[in-house]
Each structure stands twice: as C-alpha cells, then as structure tokens.
Structure 1
C-alpha cells in the first residue's frame, strides 16, 4: 500500500523549479525536484503544515489545500483523486478481509445480453474475474476452466496472470504497455481501499514474485483503466487487435464490465471464428492446462 507522505515526496521530486516557475540562480541543489519549503510556498501553506502532511498528519487537510498541492505537483485528474484518497485514509489503517465479491445482477444481465461475437468479462476491485462470456474467456484465458469465476477461491486474477502466467505474457504483444497500465490502476485501487487485506496480499505477492511488477510499482504511476488497445497473438485464431472499454454499473461501482471490439476487418474475422469455436466446444477441455500454468488462487 502507499502513504500520503511517500506519494507527496515522490511527486515533489518530479517537479523541477523551472517547471514551477522558480529561479534557482545556479545554486547547487540536493533534491531532484522541489524542496518542501518551495512546494509549501507555491501551494500557499506554511512549511510546518506541509511537513506534517508528508508525515501523514493530514486529518485537517482541506479540499482547497489538496487541490493547491495537486496544481503545484502538476497532477492529472486521476492523480489528484488519488491524492485526496490518500489524505482521507486513517492514520494507522488496520487490514481486514472483505467479503467475497459477487457481480451485481444488473451487470450479469448486461453481460448475458451481449452477443457472443462481443467478448466481455466482469472484473472485481482487485482484478479478479467475476464472470465472462464464452468468447471473452476464449479470447483472454482459454487455458482456464470456463467455470472458474463461479467460485471465489478459484477465480482467475488478471494481475496475477499478467505478471506470473507465461500464457498471458505470450498472448499480449504489447505486454509492456499493458503491464504498466495494470500496475497504475492497482495503485489507484489501493488508495481507494487502504484496509483491504486481500489487495495488500496481492500487491505483496506480486512484488515478491515479479521483479517487473516491483519495478513498476516503485515508479508510483497512478492511472485509471477505461479504454485501450490490446495487440494479441492468439494461439487459436492468430494475430488480432482489439480495443477494450469499461462500462461501470452505479449499483456496484467497484466492478467493471470490460468489452472488447475488433480494430480491423481481419481482427473482426478472428473474433467471429473464436466465437464460433467457443460455442462449439462449450466450456472447453482446459482444466489440465490451467493446472499446468497454476495461476488460480
């Protein structure tokens, strides 16, 4: 997880005096970015008050102060939301295991209403697959049992697959780009749910088992994950380019319905073939492959 102080320090290091409109007169500086007193001055707060914020004593931080810090630190809207989330965390948040996630009936109804020609999955707050249609399953994880999302203990974890599963890495030709997005979104989620023990366990596990995840996590990027492109080398239908977009359900804002559409006629043909093959094969004969790759919980 992440503290307010660590986030402020990291972002302060990224803003040079020149970027903030300050003159340094050629003096030697011991910090790569803004000093604490410079940031405090630019945000219109006292140095002592800002130091207390970096020390995590943010109970009295007003919306106006946080907005001023976001402006000086040149945060985008999502990063500013993350700043506010961190500032609202309790001083010593204890971890607790939340109840098992279940997709809202309206989300399930929407998923079921989609044509099988349109791959789709429902993701929980930690990136667990809560449900998918057959084409969504075949597109992203055909080596996993189709029924896996039905049991909380067996649900595939997209972050785990992305960093720990060779099949998923081989599937994505733009893995590096997508991996960065996954980590940035996971950090945004961690700011929203600082007491989620399962989320903390996931981040700790990936940090220990994947050097690439640990490196990206240390960079501290924060981003939402609503639209993007995946370039695939699918073992069944070959090369395909698809765009993903996320639909949010007001009744369960933590859950995301992710829908995939083809980027070109060849990819559209590939998705039609995949839909046809997945309909013919039913749930598929994938349990042995899933066991071999071993990324279920």
Structure 2
C-alpha cells in the first residue's frame, strides 16, 4: 500500500531511544526515537540515501544495506522479511489458495479438535464440525467469514474473547504482513477500508506491527459453553503458502478438554 515503506521505517525508528543505540540523547527532540541522520550514520549510508529510501525513491537496494538498517532498527526476522517485501513488492495476484478435498478431509479427520483453514486476507475457507461448533462459521454470511472482520466489526467478539486486545493485535500484525507481501490486492484494500470503521483498527493499523501466525492461546467466554481456554497451533501446506490450518488444543483433563469431549459425536 502506498507510503507503507516510509511509515514502517519511521515506526521502527520511533521505538529506539538514542542512548540505546549508543548515541547521546542531547536536548529536546522533535521526533520520538532516532532521527533519519542517526540511522544513516549507524548504518553507514548517506543521509540523502536513507531519506530517499524512506520515500521509496531508491531502486536495487543491496542486501548489505538492508541488513545494516535492520540491525540499527533492531528488526527481528519477520520485520526484516517485511522490509524486503515492502521494497520488492510481488506483482500480480497471489497464486493458489484453493482448499483441496484432501485438506477438508484432513480437518474432518482431526475430529477431536476445533480446526479451520485460513486463506488470503484471513478469510475462513473451511472448517470441521468442532470448529463450527466453537466459532459458528456455517451460520455466517460468506462475506463475513473473515477473522479480521469478526474481530473488529462483530460486537460479540469483545465478549467472546476474554483476551480481545491480544487477539486484535495479533490479527492486525498478520494482516500487515500479508499487506506487505501483496500490496496490490484490491480485496485487501476493500477489507482495510471496511475495518477502518473501527477506531481500534485504525490505531493498531498505523503502528505497523508485523507477525506471522504461529501459536498462542485463545481465551474465550462462549455464549453456550462458558469459559474455554485453548492453545492453538498453525500449520502450513507445502506448495500453498496462502493457506494455513489453525487447530485449537486443550488438555483432555482440563475443563475445556472435557467440554470438547462432550461435543464430539459418539
């Protein structure tokens, strides 16, 4: 999306205090964190070059320069990859992304856990019986089967997720990562426009945090089942980078595990 490279780099600069980078804090500063000229100095590039880089006016940036800037701005592996995506955006529509019959069969065979498949833009493409029982995907209009829409535009999400702020932050960070990989996706632009109706989305979106969807916890207060404490794991499909299988887990001996056992067909 237009201007995202500069906004991302500015957000990374803002989180680092000069003294953390070995520089004197000096007097009053007009900007939070490091100045552009300080990043340039520490990365070993000219100030003019770094300014043009933030403005996306530099082509063929070397990996050595990107590594130096990432080091100065203390980027982790995901942020470094995101920087590369912003500088070298993919062309055309993302390939693949279709749920094969075998993938649905895999979900159905995982009958002991709630599971579903996420596609582009966090669209929910498939689910198993327990996944539907927990999240109600089948009852949603097809256009609403999207985790970001449910998180920010469904008022019930704030009571469903006891850790809603964490869920919201994780959702934004993964959507930002997707935006860096596919900046020209028109359906993403439409989704972001819709989500921007939520003030929390607008605030978090401008923070430019990025993260892969990997593993974590989901703490729910289900309207029918009561408190549910899940872990979750995310699995990828080789050859289908746009698809992720998300599986909720619970210790069979826990209260959540016992509730899941009661929901499974005999």
- The TM-score with structure 1 as length reference comes to 0.82
Q: Is the 8 A contact 1:236 1:274 kept in 2?
A: no
SS of 2:156's partner is helix
Distance in 2 (CA, whole Å) between partners of 1:161 and 1:5 is 29
Q: Does 1:139 align with 2:134?
A: yes
Seen in structure 2, the aligned counterparts of structure 1 residues 40 and 132 have a Cα distance that, compared at 3 Å, is same
Distance in 2 (CA, whole Å) between partners of 1:259 and 1:89 is 30
SS of 1:240's partner is strand
Q: Does 1:103 align with 2:92?
A: no
> Post-superposition, which runs of at least 4 consecutive aligned residues in structure 1 deviate over 6 A?
96-100
Number of equivalences = 264
Distance in 2 (CA, whole Å) between partners of 1:49 and 1:99 is 34
Q: Does 1:7 align with 2:8?
A: yes
Q: Is the 8 A contact 1:140 1:168 kept in 2?
A: no
Displacement of 1:246: 0.4
- The TM-score with structure 2 as length reference comes to 0.91
1:239 to 222, 227, 238: 227
| Aligned residue runs from structure 1 range 79-158, under 5 A | 79-89=79-89, 101-114=97-110, 116-141=111-136, 144-145=138-139, 154=143, 156-158=145-147
Q: Is the 8 A contact 2:15 2:32 kept in 1?
A: yes
SS of 1:272's partner is helix
Distance in 2 (CA, whole Å) between partners of 1:43 and 1:88 is 20
In structure 2, the partner of 1:295 is none
Q: Is the 8 A contact 1:117 1:272 kept in 2?
A: yes
Determine which structure has greater relative contact order: mean sequence separation of CA pairs < 8 Å that are 6+ residues apart, divided by chain length: 1
Distance in 1 (CA, whole Å) between partners of 2:35 and 2:160 is 44
Distance in 2 (CA, whole Å) between partners of 1:71 and 1:235 is 46
- Calculate the aligned-residue CA RMSD, in Å: 2.2
Q: Which runs of 5+ in 1 are unaligned?
A: 280-297
Displacement of 1:58: 3.3
